[in-house]
Structure 1
Amino acid sequence: MSLLNVIAFASAIFLLAITPGPGVFATISRALASGFSNAAFVVLGIVLGDIIFLLLAIFGLNAIASILGDFFILVKYLGGIYLLFLGYKILTSKEKDTDVKAVQELSWKKNFITGLLITLSNPKVILFYLGFLPTFVNLQTLSTLDIVIISLIVTFVLGGVMLFYAYSASGARNLFKSKKSKRNMNIVAGSVMITAGGALIIKA
């Protein structure tokens, strides 16, 4: 991966990570209930789930590419269309007031498993990576070092954003009740996905 690709990929992951979703609200709830350290285990589980899906997407795409050869372009088109659809759904979604409630005390193991299951129970995560990765890297020439770099980017950027949410949970309660704030975040996330989907189709 070139430095430009690394910066672009990290920026895109950051913009998508800041968008409120199940993982964000679970992290905030945990922080509100039991503090930063407990929420950190939820974040650890969420990040591990993302890395699992990321690696499945990378090696799955590489396998498909080696089998299909030139027909791999079809996978790119499908991924691009999915990102366009996902971006459209986010942009047209209606914001609702969200009441973030604290949850009962859990052990670190249960916190970790909670975060892991939040990601693994959402198949959209792997579909996102399947469509998103080819925008930034050539999966047919991806090296071991590239895979390590991509995994580290996801780990540190996603983990950093989630830990920030956990740390700022007390002040974030009002933020997530604001429809205007949620609308702005949805516009950013939806625009990123549509741009990535369009770029993927054009490159294909």
Structure 2
Amino acid sequence: MTVAAFFAYAIALGIAAAIPGPGVAALVGRALGTGFARSVPMLLGLAVGDVIYLTLAIAGLAFIATAFSAAFFVVKLAGAAYLLWLAWRFWNEGIAVRKVEKSAGRRDGIASFLAGLAVTLGNPKTIVFYMAILPAVMDLSAVTLAGYGVLVILTFLVLFVVMTPYMALASRARLFFTDPRALRRLNRSAAAAMAGTAGWIVAKG
């Protein structure tokens, strides 16, 4: 594979990721509710979901996707359930500003990761990118093992570069809200974003 092919992939993925969709909505909602650090596992889950589709596209998407469709469906439902739980928590309880910087527990991090993974696996924009756009950008049959490794690294780098500003801005916006009523509205906005994304995942399941 050539440097031009890697560059074309990075540019195409960056443009696709920058377009607001379920992934951005879920990540912003999570960042509004819990802050920057506790949103990182969700961003990691979003990126791993992209790597899964990248792998399927290179290895033969149709056959492998069919074989693992049941497993993907279970992960999607688990992620949607977690997003709904977060939505309920933010709507009814909220999280005070002083708690934003507290570290997440291990279970919370895993659940957030799975939610991000579920959002990507159920996102038709991601599916269309790897099924239709990616083959037009590069020759998938020419991807070597080393080339695949580079593509995986590029996927993580591009998604983190593109999505981190969304997460950072949402987290910073939260810190400006010190009035209890304003903070409650913010928590409920995060809840609405989470619930909407969860409903979208289930509806597309």
Which residue identity is paired with 2:58?
I
Deviation at 1:147, TM superposition (A): 1.1
Q: CA deviation at 1:113?
A: 1.2
Whole-Å separation in 1 of the counterparts to 2:39 and 2:154: 21
TM-score (norm: length of structure 2): 0.58
User: CA distance change for structure 1 residues 6 and 172 in 2, over 3 Å: closer, same or farther?
Assistant: farther
Assess, with a 3 A threshold, how the Cα gap between structure 1 residues 13 and 135 changes in structure 2: closer, same or farther. same
Q: Which residue matches 1:47?
A: 47
SS in 2 for 1:50: helix
Shift of 1:123: 4.7
State the match for 2:26 in structure 1: 26
Conservation of the 8 A alpha-carbon contact between 1:54 and 1:126: no
Kept in 2: contact 1:57–1:129 (CA 8 A): yes
Residue 11 of structure 1 is matched in structure 2 by 11
Query: How many pairs were matched up?
Result: 136
Deviations 1:16-59 (A, max 9, x none): 11111111011111111111011111101111111111101110
Cα distance in 2 for residues equivalent to 1:61 and 1:49: 14
Residue in structure 2 matched with residue 155 of structure 1 by the alignment: 156
List aligned pairs for 1:19-168, cutoff 5 A: 19-60=19-60, 103=90, 107-168=108-169
Q: CA deviation at 1:122?
A: 2.8
Partner of 1:183: none
Shift of 1:135: 2.2
The CA deviation string for residues 84-119 of structure 1, in whole angstroms up to 9 with x for no partner, is: xxxxxxxxxxxxxxxxxx946682122111111111
Q: 2:84 is matched with which residue?
A: none
Q: Decide whether aligned partners of structure 1 residues 135 and 108 sit closer, same or farther in structure 2, where only a CA change above 3 A counts.
A: same
SS in 1 for 2:160: helix
Per the alignment, residue 187 of structure 1 pairs with: none
C-alpha displacement of 1:61? 5.7
Distance in 2 of aligned mates of 1:130 and 1:172 = 36
CA contact (8 A) 1:57 1:126 kept: no
User: Kindly tell me: are residues 143 and 115 of structure 1, through their superposed partners in 2, closer, same or farther at Cα, counting changes over 3 Å?
Assistant: same
Cα deviation code 1:161-184 (max 9, x no counterpart): 1122111115779xxxxxxxxxxx
Aligned-residue CA RMSD (Å) = 2.7
Structure 2's unaligned 5+ residue stretches are 64-88, 96-103, 175-205
CA contact (8 A) 2:32 2:173 kept: no
Report the CA distance between 1:13 and its aligned residue. 1.1
Q: Deviations over 1:109-151 (max 9, x none)?
A: 2211111111112355233212122223222222111111112
Tell me if structure 2 keeps the 8 A contact 1:62–1:140: no
Secondary structure class of the residue paired with 2:60:
helix
Amino acid at match of 2:114: I
Separation in 2, partners of 1:143, 1:40:
30
Q: Does 1:2 align with 2:5?
A: no
The percent identity for this pair of structures is 37
Match of 1:169 in 2: 170
Alpha carbons of 1:61 and 1:29: their partners in 2 closer, same or farther (altered >3 Å)? closer
SS in structure 2 of the partner of residue 20 of structure 1: coil
Supply the AA of the counterpart residue of 2:14. F
- Contact 1:46/1:115 (8 A) holds in 2: yes
